[in-house]
Amino acid sequence: MPDTPLALSLDLIARAHPHPVADDATALKLMTDAELAPGLAAAMAARPMPAEGLWVFGYGSLIWQPEFAYSERRLGTVHGYHRRFCLLQRRFRGSVDRPGLVLALDAGGSCEGVAFRLTGPEAAETLLPVWRREMRGNGYLGRWVAVETAAGPIQALTFLVNPSSDRYTGPISDEAIADRIATGAGHLGPSAEYLFRTVAACLAEGIHCPHLLRLQGLVAERLVASLGAA
């Protein structure tokens, strides 16, 4: 458990979202592996410093659910981008009627996260599951970024928000973000669960993100209010 007390909890989220949500395959068009392959090939071709290994920088769900084998992990900081809930989720963690929000890296500022060194003789094959997971919904751009770590700088692949996507919210207030997160739920669960697991994982790593910490309090207030109105 994180040392920093959180107002948001899995119990509160479960009480506010007691009913499962059915999947709606029409809510979000997903790219096939064949459609994803050229982008992955281009990313691998643009990979800087391949001798240092293949690194992926996680700032959200990749911290607590990486879905790839790795041989090393390091805390690190990326400059020029910040972590923000700015990507609408009409499926998975939201619905068409009540879209949730998930994290992306948006321009400006800096972001602390976790860099993973992937294992496997075929780097592209090792990377494919996470590339599929992040890129098939047309919400992200895969880019190589410099990551500062205590053991020295590295180059890592990460996922920036795609500003041309219809899922990109642009600048909105924390209160508006909290409204979406509190109400959004899809077949993978509530958007609030994604927030809770991310902020808890960050705190466990020693990452105190003001955006996440403020949002968990705002979302908790909204969930408590929704239970009182039920």
Residues in the chain: 230
**Coil, strand or helix: which one is 139?**
coil
Q: β-strands 70-89, 154-161: how paired?
A: unpaired
Q: Is 134 a catalytic residue?
A: yes
Q: Tell me the β-bridge partners of 103.
A: 85
80 vs 74: CA distance, rounded Å? 19
Give me the phi and psi of 79, to 5 degrees please: -105, 145
The token duo for 17 is 């979202």
- Contact indicator for 180, 78 with CB cutoff of 8 Å: no
- Contact indicator for 135, 31 with CB cutoff of 8 Å: yes
**Catalytic-role residue among 134, 148, 193, 221:** 134
99 vs 87: CA distance, rounded Å? 10
* CA angle in degrees (0–180, nearest 5) for 80-102-202: 65
Helices (H) and strands (E) in the chain, counts: 7, 7
* CA angle in degrees (0–180, nearest 5) for 133-138-140: 75
Give alpha helix (H) positions in 86-145.
123-135
The set of catalytic residues is: 134
